[in-house]
Amino acid sequence: MSEYFIAFSNINATYLIVVVIGAIAGYIIGALPGFSATMGVAIFVPFSYNMQTNSAFGFLIALYCSAVFAGSIPAILIRTPGTPAAICTVLDGYPMAQRGEAGRALGLACWSSVIGGVISAFILMIAAEFIATFALAFGHYEYFMLGILGLTMVIGMSSGTMAKGLIAMIIGLAIPLVGMDPMNGYPRFTFGSVQLLSGLQELPVMIGLFGISEIFVSFSAEDREKFPNQKITNLFSGIKDLLKNKMLIFKTAIIGTFLGALPGVGATTAAILGYDQAKKGSKHPEKMGTGQPEGIIGPECANNAVTGGALIPLLSLGIPGDPVTAILLGALMIHGLQPGPLLFVQQGIVVKGIFITVILSYLVILLFSVFSIKLLARLLNINSNVLYAFVLMFSLIGSYALRNSYTDIYVALAFGFIGYWMRKDGYPLGPLTLALVLGSMIEQKLSGALKLSEGSIVPFFTRPISLTLFLLAVAFTFFPVIRNWIIYKNKSTNGKKSWQSEQS
Amino acid sequence: MKKLIDFIKKHSLPVSLIFLGMIVLYWIRDYRQVPSGLSSAFFPRLVAILMIVLSVLTILIHFKKENEGEFTPSKSANFKILLTTVLFLSTINLIKHVHVVVGIVFFLVTYLKIIAKITWKKTMLITFIGTIILYGMIFLLRISL
């Protein structure tokens, strides 16, 4: 408890200003279709290098949280989600705005997001500490199996086919192989270059994959609709709807937090499940899609609850829950913090500071929305190409800032092309990002474990935690296959029944 | 020949990965072996083999399916990508050999005029404001370009 007081007392004017700037940056990024929270965090991480640790994380977490919420603004106003997580908000948000209740819809989205985010922050505080205490018993074997489990979960949940998810994962595993072998110090794939001895840095790779490639993809996108000059009034009119849907808020916040903690699931899946819950619990499910308040509350509460959930495995185990937390992992390490159970022991105040930042970010979002959401809606009319120019400049400067190396800028550009190529052919970037982060950890832990056991793999299957993680990894690998088989069986049984009833 | 080219276009990524996997397996054959633990070649070999196997699997699974990409790029989009890349590389060289402000101004003016296609007045205004913001960030955050 004392650590919370100390962390709270570290909040000063600089910290608050930085949180507000992060929230504004996240707002702009999330509100503009074609930009994503991942892109925003990837591009702005390098600018946090010279900040104090708590200010740096205040900035980045505020950016993350507000970008996820701000995706609902264009979803409601111009039927185009600003981020993939707002995909379900379109269904009821846009019809509500069309009948002149844009303020009510935006207010509902704002309040639901804030409540969902704050609930997930409280769950984060309890769960992360508990898991970290449990994970203190983990050794090389357990961490290796945890890495494998993380990869299998990502593949199982990735969009598109499992085969394409596996390909993306393999590319992600190949990237950390460039540079010095972590165990023996032998240079691999450096082609005699001194710059490549330290390997391909994660941040320029992420900037390329999520920043530059996004710009390239946007060149093929259609022009978005302009925001019509609609009056946005009465952002508080949705509060009665919130009070009527207390159970939905609670359920979707828990679902979102849980899904956020699972690697590779993400805010989009949480939003879809949140909408599904809203439909199931609605008194008039037939009216869903026509502008029902629960159609906004469910997905918005769930998608923002993911922010707290994704920080649980990151802080307690050092395993990122989604691409954004994969980037935050890099940021933590740049600031000299090694995420995992020891972080709670050695840097408890910093961890508590991160928890407080999540709650503070949502309060800033709430205040900011109430006073300036109308102004932000006008952002939708900015020429996207102007913003792309700035994103490219930020990408260039950000890639360079890590090591003052021009090689990193070329790496970012190269991965911009790779990301574009993968998306053009339907390969997901999520598995690649998580494999990139987990790849070197898996190699190190496997090597360390085999050294301890003198080459024997038996301890991987005799240690109880390691065996449990292995069985979970197998289950997650075959989960999509089993799920598709069950769906196929149900379809053929229903088809057979309807054919039989037609015959009789 | 046309069928082969169409096949390679449709499966460009897995085909590239098969070649990359084979090159990696050949490249690492002389890597250092160590008495205990994993050698430096173990993981690259494992990843290269998985790359080849999974790429073949992906080609077989998607052999008869239509391309399920997120989008189909148009000629104008490809031209914009090429132009952006040339601009990006030119800007890097200007920053390296001349000055960061010159590089930023060059990039913004050229991008906004040729790719964004906005008027000269707006281009100059955005370039002026943008250069101040970008240079200000570089200065305040002590990034030495």
Give percent above pLDDT 70 in chain A: 92
Question: Residue A209 has what DSSP assignment?
Answer: I
Question: What is the rounded CA–CA span in Å between residue A323 and residue A157?
Answer: 13
Give percent above pLDDT 90 in chain A: 19
pLDDT at B98 over 90: no
- Please name the residues between 28 and 67 in chain B that touch chain A, using a CB distance below 8 Å: 28, 31-32, 34, 36-40, 43-44, 47, 50-51, 54-55, 57-58, 61-62, 67
Q: Are A400 and B103 in contact (CB under 8 A)?
A: no
Q: Which residues of A touch B64 (CB under 8 A)?
A: none
A261-291 pLDDT tens trace: 887 777 888 898 899 889 888 888 888 888 8
Mean predicted confidence (pLDDT) in B57-80: 76
Of all helices (H) and strands (E), which one includes residue A188?
Answer: strand A187-188
Which residue type occupies A134?
F
Choose the mutation target among A395, A397, A440, A442 for the interface with B, i.e. most B CBs under 10 Å: A397
More confident residue, A177 or B35: A177
The predicted pLDDT at position A252 comes to 93
Interface A:B, Cβ pairs < 8 A: 163
SS (H, E, C) A337-388: CCCCHHHHHHCHHHHHHHHHHHHHHHHHHHHHHHHHHHHHHHHHHCCHHHHH
Mean predicted confidence (pLDDT) in B87-101: 88
Give percent above pLDDT 90 in chain B: 20
**Tokens matching residue A119:** 């609930």
What phi and psi, each to the nearest 5 degrees, are found at residue A188? -125, 130
Sign of the dihedral through C-alpha A58, A64, A67, A69? negative
- Helix, coil or strand: residue A250: helix
Q: Rounded to an integer, what is the distance from CA A25 to the centroid of its chain?
A: 17
B32 to chain A: nearest residue by CA?
Answer: A186
Q: Which residues of A touch B57 (CB under 8 A)?
A: 163, 166
Question: What is the rounded CA–CA span in Å between residue A438 and residue A173?
Answer: 8
**Listed residue (A60, A499, A497) closest to A307, CA to CA:** A60
A306-339 pLDDT tens trace: 999 999 989 998 888 788 888 888 888 888 888 8
Measured between CA atoms, how close is A445 to chain B, in angstroms?
A: 11
SS (H, E, C) A168-212: HHHHHHHHHHCEECCCCCCEECCCCCCHHHHCCCHHHHHHHHHHH
Q: Among B73, B84, B142, whose Cβ lies nearest the Cβ of A50?
A: B142
The predicted pLDDT at position A343 comes to 86
What is the average pLDDT score of chain A? 84
Residue B122 exposed, middle or buried by CB count within 10 Å (0-12, 13-18, 19+): middle
- Residues of chain A with pLDDT below 50 are none
Length of chain B: 145
A383 to chain B: nearest residue by CA?
Answer: B116
Choose the mutation target among B22, B33, B47, B51 for the interface with A, i.e. most A CBs under 10 Å: B47
Measured between CA atoms, how close is A310 to chain B, in angstroms?
A: 26
What Rg value do the Cα atoms of chain B yield, rounded? 23
Which residue type occupies A199?
G
Measured between CA atoms, how close is B129 to chain A, in angstroms?
A: 11
Q: Taking CB atoms and an 8 Å limit, are B130 and A188 in contact across chains? A: no
pTM: 0.83
Rounded to two decimals, the ipTM of the complex is: 0.89
Q: Are A187 and A197 in contact (CB under 8 A)?
A: yes
The predicted pLDDT at position A300 comes to 93
Measured between CA atoms, how close is B4 to chain A, in angstroms?
A: 18
The predicted pLDDT at position B145 comes to 62
- Please name the residues between 266 and 325 in chain A that touch chain B, using a CB distance below 8 Å: none
